[in-house]
């Protein structure tokens, strides 16, 4: 009889801690209230509070007694700094993000794939005074939501792309009222033809984005560069130039990675 391995002891605790840390990271300087963390993670209040208190005791979280909010702690900074030397993608891509913002006037971003999500790592503001605030450092989207995830999906193999699409839940409108699997498939097909993604205000109406994928040393799409702004700044006459700039900078970063700059 074939035996199935039980999950390692403590796995559920690790998953719960991971969920709490991710939610707190999303709030950045604003911090997270216990009630919000309970709602977003599905944990009970006593369980969430017990885990939060234990993390704070280890220096992984800070708790502001004056407003009850939870923040990432100093030990998280130390760990993040230690891992940055192994994954120096921000250092490699930052010049490209800056050049995109300067050349276009739009907000420019670097995002990375993490499983079936994308996470925004860097943001650089352009000179145009009206901006889109869909993305910020730490923002997570399911793979296939947002320009960066679409650019990565366009270069995955068919089986992995279908798995990502099967995981998308668009029923509650959380990711925008204009989202649909047929529209996402069409965007991917267009990106495979053009090399870059055009995402026409599907998360927030009027907030458009474009993106191009960055590849690791094994030629896997792991990161993406994105430009976002208002619809009037992404009209058809301008799209080829924005796409050309995105592809140029994405290629520059990919070449630096191929030369030994960053792992996965």
Cα(121)–Cα(137) distance, rounded to whole angstroms?
A: 5
The neighbouring-strand residues paired with 119 are: 112, 140
Express each pLDDT in 124-174 by its tens digit: 999 987 766 677 888 889 999 999 999 999 999 999 999 999 999 888 778
CB atoms under 10 Å from CB of 135, counted, come to 23
Predicted confidence at residue 28, as pLDDT, reads 66
- Total length of the chain: 264
Give me the percent of the chain exceeding a pLDDT of 70: 89
Question: Which of 20-29, 175-184, 219-228 is the least confident region?
Answer: 20-29
What is 149-190 written as a DSSP string?
A: HHHHHHTS-HHHHHHHHHH---TT-TT-TT--HHHHHHHHHH
The neighbouring-strand residues paired with 212 are: 225
Q: Which of 102, 148, 95, 151 is nearest to 127 (CA)?
A: 102
Considering the chain, what is the average pLDDT of its residues?
87
Predicted confidence at residue 84, as pLDDT, reads 52
> What is the set of domains in the chain, with CATH numbers?
11-79 (1.10.10.10), 87-261 (3.30.450.40)
Residue in this structure with the two tokens 């002891």, named with its chain if needed: 9
Phi, psi of 227 (to 5 degrees): -120, 135
Q: Check whether 4 has a pLDDT greater than 70.
A: no
Express each pLDDT in 30-76 by its tens digit: 889 999 999 989 999 999 999 999 998 998 888 988 999 998 888 87
């Amino acid at each position: 009889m074939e035996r199935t391995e039980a999950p390692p002891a403590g796995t559920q605790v690790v998953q719960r801690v991971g969920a709490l840390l991710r939610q707190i990271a999303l709030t950045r300087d604003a911090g997270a209230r216990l009630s919000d963390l309970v709602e977003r993670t599905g944990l009970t209040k006593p369980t969430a509070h017990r885990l939060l208190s234990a993390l704070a005791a280890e220096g992984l979280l800070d708790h502001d007694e004056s407003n009850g909010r939870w923040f990432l702690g100093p030990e998280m900074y130390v760990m993040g700094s230690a891992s940055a030397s192994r994954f120096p993608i921000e250092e490699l891509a930052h010049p490209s993000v800056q050049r995109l913002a300067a050349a276009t006037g739009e907000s420019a971003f670097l995002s990375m794939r993490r499983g079936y999500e994308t996470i925004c790592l860097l943001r650089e503001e352009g000179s145009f005074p009206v901006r889109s605030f869909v993305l910020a450092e730490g923002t997570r989207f399911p793979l296939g939501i947002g320009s960066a995830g679409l650019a990565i999906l366009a270069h995955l193999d068919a089986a992995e792309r279908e798995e990502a699409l099967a995981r998308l839940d668009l029923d509650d409108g959380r990711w925008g009222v204009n989202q649909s699997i047929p529209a996402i498939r069409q965007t991917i097909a267009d990106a495979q033809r053009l090399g870059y993604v055009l995402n026409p205000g599907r998360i927030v109406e009027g907030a458009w984005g474009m993106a191009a994928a960055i590849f690791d040393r094994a030629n896997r799409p792991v990161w993406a560069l994105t430009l976002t702004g208002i619809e009037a700044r992404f009209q058809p006459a301008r799209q080829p130039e924005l796409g050309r700039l995105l592809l140029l900078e994405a290629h520059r970063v990919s070449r630096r990675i191929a030369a030994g700059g960053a792992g996965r």
